[in-house]
Amino acid sequence: LVTAQIVADIFVNIDVPDSILVERVVGRRTDPKTGKIYHMTFSPPDDEEVEARLVHRSDDTEEKVVVRLQQFHANIGAVKDYYKDITVSVDGRATPNEVSNEVREAVRQKL
C-alpha cells in the first residue's frame, strides 16, 4: 500500500478464536450446481437433493486450516503493529449480521 501511495483510514481486525474458525471452515460445503455455500451446522440446506450434491473442498480439513492459521499468526503481528493507531477490533463470534453492522459502524465513525 505504501508503494502505491495508498493510506488506510481504518484497519478492522475481526477477532475470532482459532477453534471457531476451524469449526466454521471444516463444516463448510458448496453446491456445485448453484455455487451457494452452506454450513452443515449453522446453515444447512433445507432440501435433501441439495444436501446430497454438496462438495467439501479438499483444503477445508482441520489439518489444512491449522496450517493456514499458523501462517496467519506468524504474519499478523507485523500488520497489526503497522496499523495500531487506526485499528478497530470487532468480535467475530457474533452473528454475521451483527459483525457486519459493527464493521459498518466502525468504518462510518472513522470516515
Cα separation, 51 vs 61, whole angstroms? 19
Find out whether 11 and 54 touch, Cβ atoms under 8 Å: no
pLDDT tens, position by position, 13-62: 999 999 999 999 999 999 999 999 999 999 999 999 999 999 999 999 99
Query: What are 70-86's pLDDT values in tens digits?
Result: 999 999 999 999 999 99
pTM of the model: 0.83
Q: 72: closest CA among 25, 7, 6, 110?
A: 25
